[in-house]
Structure 1
């Protein structure tokens, strides 16, 4: 966390405590200039389905959109609202997930928790739970949440990368993120940006669209989009941010590769090389060489959920520094020899396809020894096509080897 995080948190808690007490006094609360509040779709103006909610929950709404409307909540799901305030989005979510589902609200302001619990009691909603805590340190276990929503709160954090990393951690494999927030135009003049942020109440600072996308990718989300909804102030926009955590087989998580995984990754790599049919290489590289060769946002590991053991990895490398090949990468995928048959390689390939397509990469390619029939079948199922076979392309272990060249051309990226 940044050095001044505690001070920032205290300021935010004090500010929203005052607003909660204002709402408890049955007064309307506004957290930015009146013109920006109306023009930016802030507060209850973003909702069309509040008729059955307590007036106090609607009155206390301080969001900049309606994340529930885009979260595609299903009966039985578990949803978490980061920065739940007076509880409007939690109550709407509880209605959508139904009695077999559950809606959590997390807020750092005790007065907001009190207000939200009172609103839930008035609404007679039982499948909700309001937690006191910080969105940078979510007090919930790993991989237990189906959907995370948030409404104009992440901009209030002094450590936005930590928030998104925590969101990724608590989501189940395949879990979804659907949040409303205020974003800045890329390249906006800093002074103009700061003035606009003050007008709309984003006192800690907003993220530019490109910054938001980069942080989502770094956190491990493999699909992510930003859709602007309304102008909030000069250079600032209300927006819906959606992202998905990669799906995985039971009891397995797929997350970004880190330097802490180096030993296990290289051991799995070496085990594959020792099989004789994985690569022309015979010895795994050093971590420094491996790290330098792989694209940072397109390297994923599959880990055992309970132990954190790395079971497999996938990574991509650029094939050329020429701009014409900017959307073409070469990949490798390896699975621990004791954990084959669990669907790990398939899940890793799917994560790679998602992350590369989201980044605009249009072709993934590789070369496979024809004797490696298992890998050829795996890639065929993942949408790769055989381009051809280069015969006797190189010597490996004192004999000439053919290589089958495969590629997967995206139907999403590079189509125009």
Structure 2
């Protein structure tokens, strides 16, 4: 697997991919089908890529079908609704853009992003032939999407992410342009986790995955790292020994108006620790009275389960949530303890509830089955918040510790995942 190439290597890889697909576009424009596409009769054959993976109930231009080299139909799994804005990464001849534009209707819009000028020419011609007006085709790379933050409702892609040499950046960009509550629905090629490295390389080369594939667990990890908190990856048909097409669905956390929830970054340190200290100063957040250093905080918190709520206008961090492993013993691998803090000037905006939902989703996606915490009985707002999110009271530890010179009780709460089994 080759990722994070730099300088000339990245540009060379990109140019090679653009040249290949520009050639396929020219073939389609000339009325020829690409040599490695498949027909409907070949639908179940190993290594079959192309429009045969689509249903036959929608009329689209023949050139769009000829140019398709996908491994599935992302428009069938993305749940596109009327009025939504859709972005297709690596839109090729425009097939998925046309289908998306029809599903979202004239109240919505479908963007197609491709790095090949020939593919963009082909896609625009196909959309015009299909009589589709609510589309826009953009030239660019999927690692650098030329759209503003929080601009689209759905990101789709058909067997293109595997072509990127920087897949984490692609997923981070998809996360960035999605609105809060937005979703990713793509098809891609994944590798079996036990595939021998040499066999994996051979299979990838055979089906044109020039930049390598991800395993199911690697894909899930990268989605969580990008900020997606829900992720489902479903293998479908085999495309080569040890390689399968897969449906990849993921969700960006929902948030109150004017707020976005994203992964916590080192640049958030000052805001995060300031909010933390303000909570401690309130007297009901923790036995701690001063915040740790950022280095200590960073070392203790699990990387995939630390989220911040930021103002979409200013970028200011307004709240955060993070989880810590309760033990390094393997039997407690699925049990974490969490903390959630909101800037005192932004209480009662639903920020804490949204952060808690994001943590619940990200931990469940990662296979964590229990979230727990200890709360002072006086902190009734936190107890209500957690009860509303499905936490139960385990019990109360009486006079367990001294805080500002007095002994205090702690209410133990936990949430057991209804979908993740221990072990």
1:31-88: CA deviation from partner (whole Å, max 9, x where unpaired): 4799899434520110014541111111111100001100010000001000000000
Partner of 1:180: 187
Partner of 1:143: 150
* Deviation, structure 1 residue 342: 0.7
Counterpart contact for 2:25–2:93, Cα < 8 Å: yes
Partner of 1:26: 31
Alignment partner for residue 5 of structure 1, among 10, 24, 29?
Answer: 10
Structure 1 spans left out of the alignment, 5+ residues: none
- Distance across 1 between alignment mates of 2:218 and 2:270: 31
1:212-246: CA deviation from partner (whole Å, max 9, x where unpaired): 11111110110111111100001111111110011
Q: Which has the higher mean CA deviation after the structures are superposed, 385-394 or 332-341?
A: 385-394
2:320 maps to 1:313: yes
Partner of 1:204: 211
Partner of 1:339: 346
| TM-score normalised according to structure 1 size | 0.97
Matches within 5 A, 1:98-247: 98-247=105-254
Q: Over the residues paired in the alignment, what is the CA RMSD in angstroms? A: 1.5
Matches within 5 A, 1:249-328: 249-328=256-335
In the TM superposition, structure 1's runs of 4+ consecutive aligned residues that sit over 6 Å from their partners are: 32-37
1:278-309: CA deviation from partner (whole Å, max 9, x where unpaired): 00000000011111111111110000011110
- Distance across 1 between alignment mates of 2:212 and 2:375: 48
SS of 2:33's equivalent? Answer: coil
* Deviation, structure 1 residue 30: 3.3
- Distance across 2 between alignment mates of 1:362 and 1:170: 30
- Distance across 1 between alignment mates of 2:30 and 2:211: 27
Q: Which has the higher mean CA deviation after the structures are superposed, 23-32 or 221-230?
A: 23-32
1:132-157: CA deviation from partner (whole Å, max 9, x where unpaired): 11100000000011000000111111
| TM-score normalised according to structure 2 size | 0.96
- Distance across 1 between alignment mates of 2:165 and 2:415: 40
* Deviation, structure 1 residue 357: 0.8
Q: Which has the higher mean CA deviation after the structures are superposed, 152-161 or 104-113?
A: 152-161
